[in-house]
Amino acid sequence: MMEVASGAWTEVFEASEQSEAEEALLGGSTLTLAPLVVDTHTVRRSQPILIAPNRAKGVDSLCSSVPTIPNPFPELCSPSKSPVLTSSYPPQPSDKYLIKVYGEDNHSRSVWIPSGSTAREVCHLLVHTAHCSDQENWALLELHPSLGLERCLEDHEVVLEVQGTWSLKGDTRFMFCKNYAKYEFFRKPTLFFPESMISDSADVSKGMTSSDLIQNLLKSGTCPEIQGFLHVKESSRKAWKKVYFFLRRSGLYSSSKGSSKEPRHLQYVADLEDLNVYVVVNSRKLYGAPSDFTFCIKPSRNPMRVQDLKILCAESEQTRTCWTSAFRLFKHGNQLQCNYQLSKSALKRTDESRLRDGKAQSEASLVAMDFSGKAGGRVIANPTEAMSAEREEGRAWRRREALRCSLPNLTSNPRPSSIHKTQPWFHGGVSRREAQRIIEKQGLVDGMFLIRESQQHAQCFVLSLCHKLKTKHYLVIPCEDGGRKYFTMDDGETLFIDLLQLVEFHQINRGILPVCLKHPCVCVAL
């Protein structure tokens, strides 16, 4: 049958004699021809075609007519059943995430951690990974190299939550290193919180001294109110302004009129619940700070931007440490006390296990003894007598060592003079500033030390030692006596055949040092 219209024409064919198979294959017998030439006066635009959801069901007849071809390699189409794929790439659990942690040698290691892992748990994982000898006094640092900022994560902080606040385009990283000073203010609170910085508004009217007040407050997980002058960098200018600040439980305030603490002169600066405190490295070059003792506060949940930083500068390291420790205590409160007790109990268990092996690890286990009597040894309880016994033991050690060195060397394998290069406390030719940075990063605690090559005196070494939040440097000079080479720090009064002997001696005897060598600065390679 054919239909002819005046304008467009359509031709329709009806196939009545087709077989049933052909009809099923074609799906119909109607063929419609659209016009090839359209009217120039009317424009016909294409319209969207609505595809019914059940159209695929109607094509089953077309698909069923095509014979199926068996798959010769079913294991390649099913990764779950492929022994090659499953053995090459083991699937990771869905609740674990990959993070990258750097060591102090700038080498990194990627580790899988559960989603709720805290900084303490990640440190223990890295301790086993790096085969470290001790379990405690490790820390995970958050570094922002381009901004010169770093901070030590608290033991209870969730690592992935901290990483979630980072900018994708930044250079922020985690670093794994030693830190002996995380809870040092609990052990020596009067050193970290001097009386001059305790606010007069604190309750000292009950006959308590400032040290007693600090002890009671730290036991309850709180902190006394802190006050003092700080240099603050103005956001729109490069100049620094000296302002009097007050750190209270309700927040950080600045005084608009000198050191006045009247409410009408106080200006609210920051909320302690929603901020993190960072130490600023190389602050003179990056921010033009008046001193090197710079720190900053930033909202914890905001990305790291320069305009969000509140940069502050103190006059000394003790002042900066006091402010940063107070910020931590006010923010985390009793949680820091719990972290400290947990770390102390873990360290005590480690010491007890080593003592069972016959190795004394703590200085508290060393006592002064007197073996001059006939009834055996006795413990020297008098401190003055103990100090005189220490000096006498030092002089006796010098005499024995001088006699031993005067004898001919009968050992077939003498100890090499470069044995110090294999020791963890030797840091090569680092500069004086870098040595101070290493000690600050690993904790400003008494007895922290390292030995480095002197950059000003040839063939000499420098012992860098921390005492009362300050780093002191002692020159180790080589000398000759009787044709042999020695090292000395006291103009030849005490001679050491190498640096290892010097360190071992001063780990027990102070000598000319203000404190014995206790904690070596180590550089862990991940």
For residue 122, give the CATH number of its domain: 3.10.20.90
Does 107 share its domain with 242? no
* 457, part of any domain: yes
Mean pLDDT by runs of 10 across the 526 residues of the chain is 48 47 45 48 57 49 55 57 48 76 89 94 90 82 93 95 88 92 86 80 53 69 84 82 92 91 90 90 91 91 78 93 92 89 80 54 55 59 73 63 51 58 90 91 91 92 93 93 86 88 91 92 79
pLDDT tens per residue across span 196-233: 888 754 444 455 666 676 777 666 667 778 999 999 98
Does 167 share its domain with 192? no
* 74, part of any domain: no
DSSP string, 465-481: EEETTEEEEEEEEEEEE
Does 439 share its domain with 473? yes
Does 472 share its domain with 447? yes
Does 144 share its domain with 194? no
Is-above-0.75 flag for pTM? no
Q: Which long-range contacts (CB under 8 A, 24 or more apart) does 517-520 make?
A: 517/447, 517/449, 517/465, 518/363, 518/445, 518/446, 518/447, 518/448, 518/449, 519/178, 519/180, 519/442, 519/443, 519/445, 519/447, 519/448, 519/449, 520/423, 520/424, 520/425, 520/449, 520/450
CA distance 382 to 317: 34
* 488, part of any domain: yes
pLDDT tens per residue across span 453-485: 999 998 999 999 999 889 999 999 999 887 888
Does 188 share its domain with 321? yes
pLDDT tens per residue across span 116-156: 999 999 999 999 888 887 777 899 999 999 999 999 999 99
Does 303 share its domain with 229? yes
* 438, part of any domain: yes
| Domain span at 494 | 417-526
